[in-house]
Amino acid sequence: MTLTLKLFGAFRDLEPAGAVELELPDEATIAQARAAFAELAQARWGERFRPGLLAVSAFASEREILRDADAIGAARELALLPPVSGG
């Protein structure tokens, strides 16, 4: 499956297009999407990519925050949401 991952926050700053595409198995989980994104990000952005930020970021569908064990299912587009702070 091809998954479009919409990027927000610090991840959006890395990618001017605001999204990347990941190729994943049809039965992929969020953990697999996280690993695929980490591999792509390291190759594309090198030292600008912060793996620690990815580790604490959430993946979300239009309706809910997804956990690493959750199957992606029929979703073909998800959001990658880093933690937010400020006021």
Write the CATH number for 13: 3.10.20
Number of domains in the chain: 1
Does 33 map to a domain?
A: yes
Q: How confident is the model at residue 54 (pLDDT cuts 50, 70, 90)?
A: very high
d(CA 29, CA 63): 17
Q: Are 15 and 32 in contact (CB under 8 A)?
A: no
Domain that holds residue 44: 2-73
Provide, rounded to the nearest whole percent, the portion of the chain with pLDDT above 90: 91
**Is there a domain that residue 26 lies in?**
yes
Q: Which pLDDT score is estimated for 84?
A: 80
The verdict on residue 78 lying in a domain is: no
* 12-43 tens-digit pLDDT: 999 989 999 999 999 999 999 999 999 999 99
Taking the model in full, what pTM does it have?
Answer: 0.92
User: Is residue 86 situated within a structural domain?
Assistant: no
pLDDT digits (tens, 9 = 90+) for 78-87: 999 999 865 5
